[in-house]
Structure 1
C-alpha cells in the first residue's frame, strides 16, 4: 500500500479512522515514557494481591494456589442498595444527580458489581510467563465468572490492564470483571451494528469479517483452526489486534474444551510477540466482548447446540489496545485532531501486522500460526530509533 492518506470505516462501531502512512517517517522530538522493568519476585509482602497478604480494605487473602477471584474492595459499580444481590431497576421520576427537569441534562442509576481475578499466586508471572495449562485455568475462570454474572447482569466486561502505562494500580498479574445493568456505549454500538448486519445479510458481521481477512491475509498475525488474530482494517492503536473464534460463539461460556486449549496457546504466542517487538513488557488494555445478557442458567449449553446449526447476531471477540508507538519509551496519544475530530494513525494496519508476524516467527516456530501466503520475515521487526 502506498502513502496515500485515506479514511477507514469500522463496521463494528460505525466510526471512521484517518490513516496517514507518510507521517510514520516524521522525526520524533516529543515526550518519552520511562521504560523500567522491576525485578520479578514470586511473593511481595507489600502486595495487596499476593497470597496470605492483607488487602487495602483490610481483608486477608487466602493462601491460594491457582486463580483467585474476589469482589473489588473499591468497586466502581455496586448492586442496588434496596436489594444488594440483584441488579436495580430504574425508578421513573426519581431525582438523579445533576438531572435537568427540562430533559436536556439526563442521568440514570447504574448498578453492578466489580471483581478482581488474580491469574495466579506468583507475583512475577503474568499470562505471557505462564504455561498453557495455567493460562487455560484463567480462561476457564473467565468463562465461569461470565456464566455466573450474566445470569443477572446486562453486561459483563472481562478485561486486563497490563502495566503502569495503562493505569494498572498493582503489578501482581490480574484482571478485572465489571458488570452493569445497562449496555455501555462501546457494547451498544457493537450490538447495533452486528444486529443491522445480520438483519441485512442473515450472517454474522464478524464471521463475514473473518472470511474477508482470510482471503486478504495481509493483516493476519496468528491463525489456527480455532482462532484468528488480526490487526483490524480499522485499527486505531499502532499494534491493536482483534482476537476471534473461527466458529460461531457468542460468549466465553460457550467455548468448548478444544477452543479453550487453543486459546491458551494463542494468548501465549500473541503476548510473547508483543513483548518481543520492543524487547520489553508491552503494556495494553484487553477485554472480551460477548453477547449482552441476561442469560438464564443453561443458556450457554442451549446456545452451543444452536450455534452448530446457524450463525448468531453476536460473535465473541477480544480487543487488545497497546499504546506503544516506536519503542518502549514512545507511546501513542489521542490528542489534538484525534480528540476534536476523529482518531488517526500513521503506521498502516498491514505494516503493523507484518512486523508482529516477523517478530513472532523469530520467537516461535511459526507452525500453523502464520498465514500461508505471506513471508513472516518480509517485514523487519520494528526497532525504530528516533531521528
Structure 2
C-alpha cells in the first residue's frame, strides 16, 4: 500500500493570499522545514505506522496521554461470580434456551450455538441485477466452547494443564470444521466491555463458506511478501522483534508475545510461534504445552496491569482450510491477536469512534511504551498474591 498523501503536499488555493500577504504554499513549506529540524521522538511526536499484515496505517499520538480524562468511566466489575449457577446456560447440567441439557462436563465442552450467525443450509441469494447490489451465499456453523466447568475462573486463573486442554480442543475443532469450510474463526470476547454477556469462561467458533475480509487482507499481504522475499512475513517479523526487543513482552522456547509495531489497541499483543506453523492442528505436544504456559503468563500480566479481570477480544488466524487445506499456503504463519480496550485504568477505555471510523485507526501511547509496561508486570496473578499476603498475615 502506498504511503498516504501528507498534509504538507501543495494545495491549490485559487491564487488566494493571506491577509498579511504570505503565500500559503510558502508558509506550509516553512512549517514543514521547522518540523524537520526538530528531533523526532516516537513518544512525543505524532506519526503514522504501516501494518504490513493487513495493509493499513495507524496514527500514533502518544502526547495525547497527557490530556486529562473527562469522558466516560466504566462501572466497576462484579467482585464475585458464583462458581455454579443452575440458571446459567453455560454451566454443567444447566438447561439452555433450546431445551437441551448440558452434560456434567469437567473440562472443555463444545456445543452448537443456540443462536448461530451462520447456518449450513441457507439458500443462495441468486444473481444480482446491478453491480452496486451484490450478494453472495454465506453458509457455515457456529459453536460455543466452554473452557472450564466453573464460572468464577478465567484463563489466567486456570492451571497450565487446563489451558492445554483448551488448546487441544481448539486444534481439534479447527481440524473437524476445517475439513468442510475454508475458514474457521476461533475467538473469545472476555468481559462485558467487549460485549460478553456471560461471565462463564468460554469462546466461540464460527466456520464459514467464505474468507472474511480480514482473512482476505492477511492472505494477500502474506502471499505478496512471500513472493517478494521468499519467506513468511510473520516468521521474519518475529525474528526481527526478538532481535530488537523494544516491543517484546514474553518469549519462550517455542513462542513470542509482542506488542506489534502497528498496534491499534492500547495494549494489543500478537502471539507467534517461533517456527513456521500454518494452522493450530500442526502444533507439536511440546509447542502446545509451551503455548499454555505463555498464555497464562500473558493473561496474568493483563489482569495485573490494572488489577482487574482484563477485558479483550482475541482470535486465532491460520491458513485457510476446507478444500484449500492441501493448497500451498507456505506464506501463512499461525498467530493470535489480542485486542484489549482498557487505556488508563480498569474503568477508562479506548473508544474507536469519530476519526477511527471515518479516517483510520489512532492510538494514544506508543507500542514500545505499552510493551515496557507489560514486561514490567509480575507473572503471579494479583488475586493469588493478595491471598498469599493475607495467609502470611494470619500465620
Give the one of 28, 44, 50 matched to 2:85.
44
Give the one of 328, 353, 366 matched to 1:335.
353
8 Å CA contact retained: 2:300, 2:379:
no
8 Å CA contact retained: 1:16, 1:343:
yes
CA distance in 1, matches of 2:324, 2:331: 18
Does 2:29 correspond to 1:11? Answer: no
Give 1:225 deviation, angstroms: 1.3
RMSD: 1.8
Partner of 1:384: none
Does 2:88 correspond to 1:60? Answer: no
Partner of 1:347: 365
Partner of 1:165: 193
CA distance in 2, matches of 1:62, 1:179: 24
Give the one of 215, 227, 234 matched to 1:187.
215
Which sits farther off after the overlay, 37-46 or 55-64?
Answer: 37-46
Give 1:363 deviation, angstroms: 5.7
Please state whether the residue corresponding to 2:168 is helix, strand or coil. helix
Give the one of 292, 315, 325 matched to 1:287.
315
Partner of 2:253: 225
Unaligned runs of 5+ in 2: 1-41, 383-395
Structure number with bigger Rg: 2
Give 1:296 deviation, angstroms: 7.9
| Residues 102 and 295 (structure 1), Cα distance of their counterparts in 2 relative to 1, 3 Å cut | closer
Give 1:316 deviation, angstroms: 0.2
Give deviations 1:142-195, integer Å, cap 9, x for gaps. Answer: 000001111100100011000111111211110000010100000000000000
Give 1:74 deviation, angstroms: 0.5
Give 1:362 deviation, angstroms: 7.0
Give the one of 66, 71, 88 matched to 1:30.
71
| Residues 361 and 179 (structure 1), Cα distance of their counterparts in 2 relative to 1, 3 Å cut | closer
Partner of 1:73: 114
Please state whether the residue corresponding to 2:370 is helix, strand or coil. helix
CA distance in 2, matches of 1:43, 1:64: 13
8 Å CA contact retained: 1:220, 1:231:
yes
Partner of 2:134: 106
Give 1:81 deviation, angstroms: 4.7
Please state whether the residue corresponding to 1:243 is helix, strand or coil. strand
8 Å CA contact retained: 2:43, 2:366:
no
Give deviations 1:47-72, integer Å, cap 9, x for gaps. Answer: 00100010012111011111000010
Give 1:125 deviation, angstroms: 1.3
Please state whether the residue corresponding to 1:200 is helix, strand or coil. helix
8 Å CA contact retained: 1:77, 1:113:
yes
Does 2:262 correspond to 1:244? Answer: no
8 Å CA contact retained: 2:223, 2:331:
yes
8 Å CA contact retained: 2:306, 2:346:
yes
Unaligned runs of 5+ in 1: 83-89, 365-387
Please state whether the residue corresponding to 1:360 is helix, strand or coil. coil
CA distance in 2, matches of 1:233, 1:59: 46
TM-score normalized with structure 2 length: 0.83
8 Å CA contact retained: 1:151, 1:296:
no
8 Å CA contact retained: 2:249, 2:372:
yes
TM-score normalized with structure 1 length: 0.85
CA distance in 2, matches of 1:12, 1:22: 26
Please state whether the residue corresponding to 1:266 is helix, strand or coil. helix
Partner of 1:267: 295
8 Å CA contact retained: 1:37, 1:281:
no
Give 1:295 deviation, angstroms: 5.5
Give the one of 310, 326, 335 matched to 1:317.
335
Please state whether the residue corresponding to 2:216 is helix, strand or coil. helix
